[in-house]
Amino acid sequence: MEIRDSLLDRIAEAEKEGWLGEIEGLHVSLADAESRIDQIDSAPGSVAINLGMSRKAPAHPAQKEGAGSLRQSRDDQQ
């Protein structure tokens, strides 16, 4: 969707500036982007699926484990 909006903005700018060749190329790109969006929207199973994943932070963050591993490797070097 952002690509389509960007192309529309660029087409408006090209029309304002009179860049005829640019306008034609942007319209081709816009048609292709809209075609791809339509394909994605019409694809079977293209609805969002809730995977049931929790948004809560883990009880034991990985950073604590990593810090201990870093200390251990420093001790090993000495």
Placement of tokens 């982007």 in the chain: 33
The stretch 5-18 carries a mean pLDDT of 95
Q: What is the token pair recorded at 7?
A: 């192309």
Domain count, the chain: 1
The domain in which residue 30 lies consists of 1-44
Assess contact for 8 and 23: CB atoms under 8 A: no
The alpha carbon dihedral of 38, 39, 45, 49 has a sign of negative
pLDDT band at 11 (very low <50, low <70, confident <90, very high): very high
Asked whether the whole model's pTM tops 0.85, one would answer no
Higher confidence at residue 77 or residue 16?
A: 16
Q: How far apart are CA 39 and CA 15, in angstroms?
A: 28
Within 10 A of 1 (CB to CB), how many other CB atoms are there?
Answer: 7
pLDDT at 27: 95
pLDDT at 71: 52
Query: For residue range 33-71, what is the model confidence (pLDDT) as tens digits?
Result: 999 988 888 877 756 666 776 666 556 555 544 555 455
